[in-house]
Structures are given as C-alpha cells and as structure tokens.
Amino acid sequence: NAGVMQNPRHLVRRRGQEARLRCSPMKGHSHVYWYRQLPEEGLKFMVYLQKENIIDESGMPKERFSAEFPKEGPSILRIQQVVRGDSAAYFCASSPRPRNEQFFGPGTRLTVL
C-alpha cells in the first residue's frame, strides 16, 4: 500500500540544464498538487492537476516551468534552463477527491550549481 512516490529524491543540475521531477500519486488518487519549499519558508502551491488536465496553475512561474499528469504514468514537473534560485525542495501531494486532505510524497531536493 505505497504512499506518494517521488523521484529522484535528490537532483543536482548545473545552471541552464533541465530538471524533471516525477510524482506517482497514491493508488486511487487522481488529484495531484505540486508545492515548492524554499529554506526557512512554508510550502508554496504551484499547480493542481487531475488526470490529463491542469486545473489550477496559478502558483507556477510563467516561464521555464511546466507540469503534466498523463493518462498513464506519473505526474512530471519540468523546469527548463534552471537557475540557482530554483534550488528548493519540491513536494508532490495527492488526494482521492478535491477538498480532501492531501498526502505528501518525500519530496525532491533540487540543487542548482
């Protein structure tokens, strides 16, 4: 009965490279949320997806960031041309329905050199 899975757990990229973060929700959950946590800050909402649809991307930077949740496979958060300021922990959460408590994955810690 696996929980939310994220990989990789740690990712190091040089400036200008691409980062791909993956999230597999809990079994039976079709709602996925991505959050970013900077040092000394709280979790900041980025995007909410349901299978094949982006429902709310109001927290996503307008450039370089994109997210998808295909019919098959994990949700992907993609950051193009990473910069040092992208270094953070990125958490994914899932829920079986909207407005339910969200269950979090262990996070991916992205370090941009």
Partner 1 sequence: EDKVVQSPLSLVVHEGDTVTLNCSYEVTNFRSLLWYKQEKKAPTFLFMLTSSGIEKKSGRLSSILDKKELFSILNITATQTGDSAVYLCAVDENTGNQFYFGTGTSLTVIP
39 binds partner 1 (CB under 8 A): no
- Give the side-chain half-sphere CA count within 13 A for 93: 21
Long-range contacts of 97-105 (CB under 8 A, 24+ apart): 97/31, 98/31, 100/31, 102/33, 103/3, 103/4, 103/26, 103/29, 104/4, 105/3, 105/4, 105/5, 105/6, 105/23
25 binds partner 1 (CB under 8 A): no
103 binds partner 1 (CB under 8 A): yes
Q: Which residue in 17, 43, 64, 68 binds partner 1 (CB under 8 A)?
A: 43
Q: Looking at 16-24, 33-41, 65-73, 80-88, which segment touches partner 1 (CB under 8 A)? A: 33-41
Q: Which of 54, 106, 43, 100 is nearest to 77 (CA)?
A: 54
Closer Cβ to partner 1, 59 or 96, answer by number: 59
Minimum CB distance to partner 1, residue 42 (Å) = 4
Residues lying near partner 1 in the complex (CB under 8 A) are found at 3-4, 33, 35, 40-45, 48, 55-56, 58-59, 91, 98-99, 101-107
